Amino acid sequence: MAPSRMKVFTSTLCTTMHTPAYEFLSGAETHYYESPDRRDVILKYLESQADAFEVTERTEDFGAGPIERVHKQDFIDYLKTAYEEWIEEGGHPNGVLPGTIPHYKVARLGKLKAANCLAKSGEYCFDMSAVITKDTFKAAWNAAQVTLTATKDLVRAADEFEQSVEAGTTTRENPPGLYALVRPPGHHAQSDICGGYCYLNNLAIAAQWLIDQPNLKSKADGGPKRIAILDIDFHHGNGTQEIFYTVANPLYTSLHSVDDYPYFTGSELEKGEGKGLGFNINIPLAQATTDDDYVETLDKLIQDHVIPFKPDYILVSLGVDTYKDDPIAGFLVTSEGYPRIGNSIRKIGVPTLFVQEGGYCIEKLGLNVGGILLGFMGRTGTPQ
Ligand code: Q9C
Ligand code: ZN
């Protein structure tokens, strides 16, 4: 049987429309690292491996419903109208950039009511990396729709997989994988605050949509489908953590750098609350973490937490800013490490959707993302 190709979902509607002019890194003005070239180089690499990947621009419109399940209405309305209001109030055409953020030592929260866009820009954003340009909202909206389109196809692929396993034409060791090549990314976006290059939390929207489908039942307990999130971006996914902090499904797990951005979340002591207690697993890793340490920790996380959860689907926040030459990060993962990471995820044996998050070393971005996906598909050998 010819090995099947992995489906890649993408759209220029989300990937090219959002182009902030600059950002600040340690006080210096630089180009915007989360740029449209990221999508171009990933796509170019995947298209060069045509026997392994099948790219589709087909995107379904799921409307506002799935987005409103995760994000608060006032925040969605803000993102939609912010640029226009900003310009009306005399803001710079480069886009909305907060100047005053309601720091907890200053703000009398509750009494605060943001009266104009200058104030709202701080109320709804936690750092200076999430500039809102003219088409940012459209891009973020379309990124969520592309991710949902891929998620619907994950359901189809998983059903097909079950039938093939029963028919004996495949085994559990070959789970289907799909990839949503989207930007802007999502995992720093909380229910009502953007930041960290993120506006709408694509992966969280997908997870909630799966849980909400009334006809999709968990194999383990007959309830809603069980979703395990593996966040392998270098940075902690504070947004996904916050959105699901008080629920037992999905399970959120993250490997990320200690003492790095976003600085004020990501401790192993953050374990979830209420019904969610025990379903938020943070594993901070030292700066300069290597391939061997990373893969060993990932395998242990999978054995101790992901497999016992009995997930029906895995959603991966796929960041490759763990790469040794990433310009804004500090791990030492190499291009040989990524297929090993993909292979560790494959061994869980569960249908998996990869959703693009960070990764800023443009020269190796395609190779590194492709390495994870090829490793997941069980394709061995050093990717070129
Ligand atoms: N010294 C994602 O990877 N600035 N977001 C960090 C580091 C913002 C990262 C400064 C980084 C956001 C999706
Ligand atoms: Zn990141």
Closest CA to ligand 1's atom 3: 358
Nearest ligand 1 atom, CA 196: 12
Per cent of the chain over pLDDT 90 is: 92
Evaluate: CB of 233 within 6 angstroms of ligand 1.
Answer: yes
Residue at 70 is within a domain:
no
Mean pLDDT of 175-182: 98
Closest CA to ligand 1's atom 1: 328
Evaluate: CB of 76 within 6 angstroms of ligand 1.
Answer: no
For 244-286, the pLDDT digits (tens) are 999 999 999 999 999 999 999 999 999 999 999 999 999 999 9
In this structure, are strands 23-25 and 28-30 parallel, antiparallel, or unpaired?
Answer: antiparallel
Residue at 84 is within a domain:
no
Any idea which ligand is nearest the CA of 321?
2
Residue at 71 is within a domain:
no
pLDDT for residue 13: 81
Evaluate: CB of 188 within 6 angstroms of ligand 1.
Answer: yes
Counting the structural domains of the chain, the total is 1
pTM, to two decimals: 0.97
Catalytic residue among 187, 188, 235, 256: 188
Residue at 69 is within a domain:
no
Residue at 132 is within a domain:
no
Query: Given pLDDT bands bounded at 50, 70 and 90, which one contains residue 355?
Result: very high
Residue at 133 is within a domain:
no
- CA dist 9 and 75 (Å) reads 27
Residue at 267 is within a domain:
yes
CATH code (residue 365): 3.40.800.20
Domain range enclosing 167 = 6-63+140-377
Closest CA to ligand 1's atom 11: 196
Residue at 44 is within a domain:
yes
- Tokens 């109030």: give the residue: 89
pLDDT for residue 384: 59
